[in-house]
Amino acid sequence: MAYVPQNTDHFIAFEVWLKAALFALGASIIGFVVYPTELGLEQGITTTVFVSGRLFWGALFVAAFIVATGNAASLFKLSRKGMQFAALRGLTVGLATILLYTYALSWADATPTIITVVGVAAITGTMIECRGKPDTSNIHVIIGTLAALYGALSVYDTGTQFDLWAFSFSAASGFIYGMLPLICRGDEANGTTTVAQYLTFGFVFSLVPVWLWNDVDAATLVQQFVAWPVIVSGCFCTGLAYVCIQYALAPTSSGNNLSSSWATILYGMEPVCAMLTSAVMMNEIIPTKATIFIIFYLILSFTAGAVITNSK
């Protein structure tokens, strides 16, 4: 006989918290990508090639994970609706988020870029969750949005490299990141098979700018594809990270989902991890206001989770 918890509400809340922790882990892994990205660009790998290689290795990693777990047959089962979803998600993740984000990093310092991304993502996620009309149950999300905006705007007086183009690409990336929890929902958005499929579509789409914007031969492209910064960013910072996020967004055993509001706040683990990575491994200075943002964000994430979970 299956074990049934005596306090069902507490068990459901525990499941949601586990989902939140997994989502935060995935976002943190994505944040580490600033380091291999910086190394790849320093080695002369172009932005489009880096993005395409990252998607390729990400898809390959997830496919290998699926085969290793005994679900290889699922890779070849794709309905028409599933194919449309995978193509949409591949275009969204591949060209709209990773490409924009990488371009912003190539033109600006990591700290202002990632703070702007999470600031805009917080605004977008809040508006989607509240349908444009926030109520008292979303107070922590509103505070989180203001904190993210404060962090984003504070970078303009720090002397960092951050121009209008970098801000535009960062803001566009953040806008789409804010919509990802919504895009990932639905019957066609469950399981690691979906991740492998949309990363593959993203890779295919990314080949277009690779061939249009790179005047190099095939041998050079292959050499750049197998560079270790590209492999690490693809397998670890993309494949593993998106598997964690996909599992986190899937319904729990009790049929509950991680709130889009909370998921949007938890995306903040990406800039937190990215800023710490930049400081430790890339010798970038974290401004005082950004440090305040990190501390405030960490407190916010835990308290917001309690409020949002209890309000369901």
C-beta of residue 199 within 8 angstroms of C-beta of residue 58: yes
Find out whether 163 and 108 touch, Cβ atoms under 8 Å.
yes
Amino acid at 24: A
Of the candidates 114, 120, 152, the one whose C-alpha atom is nearest the C-alpha of residue 38 is 114
pLDDT of residue 59: 93
Residue 91 lies in a domain: yes
Question: What pLDDT was estimated at residue 1?
Answer: 44
Whether residue 280 is contained in a domain is answered as yes
Residue 144 lies in a domain: yes
CA proximity to 195, closest of 242, 250, 240, 247: 242
Residue 257 lies in a domain: yes
Give me the pLDDT at residue 10, please: 63
Query: Which residue segment(s) compose the domain that 78 sits in?
Result: 16-310
CA distances for 125 relative to 39, 79, 121, 265, angstroms: 31, 29, 6, 8
Indicate whether 6 belongs to any domain. no
**10 located within any domain:** no
Residue 268's alpha-carbon distances to 132, 151, 224, 308, in angstroms, are 21, 11, 30, 17
Rg for the chain (alpha carbons), in Å? 19
Query: What is residue 2's predicted lDDT score, i.e. its pLDDT?
Result: 46
What is the model's pLDDT at position 30?
Answer: 87
Q: Length of the chain in residues, anyone? A: 312
Give the chain as a DSSP string: -----S-HHHHHHHHHHHHHHHHHHHHHHHHTTHHHHHHHHHTT--HHHHHHHHHHHHHHHHHHHHHHTT-GGGGG---HHHHHHHHHHHHIIIIIIIIHHHHHHHHS-HHHHHHHHHHHHHHHHHHHHHTT---GGGHHHHHHHHHHHHHHHHGGGTT----HHHHHHHHHHHHHHHHHHHHT-SGGG-SHHHHHHHHHHHHHHHHHHHHHH----HHHHHHHHTSHHHHHHHIIIIIIHHHHHHHHHS--TTS----HHHHHHHTTHHHHHHHHHHHHHS-PPPPHHHHHHHHHHHHHHHHHHHHHHHT-
Domain presence at residue 4: no
Burial class (CB in 10 A: 0-12, 13-18, 19+), 7: exposed
State the total domains in the chain: 1
Residues with pLDDT less than 50, the chain: 1-4, 187
Residue at 11 is within a domain: no
CA-closest candidate to residue 179, choices 92, 240, 251, 290:
92
Residue 140: the pLDDT is 56
How far, rounded to the nearest angstrom, does the alpha carbon of residue 282 sit from its chain's CA centroid?
A: 21
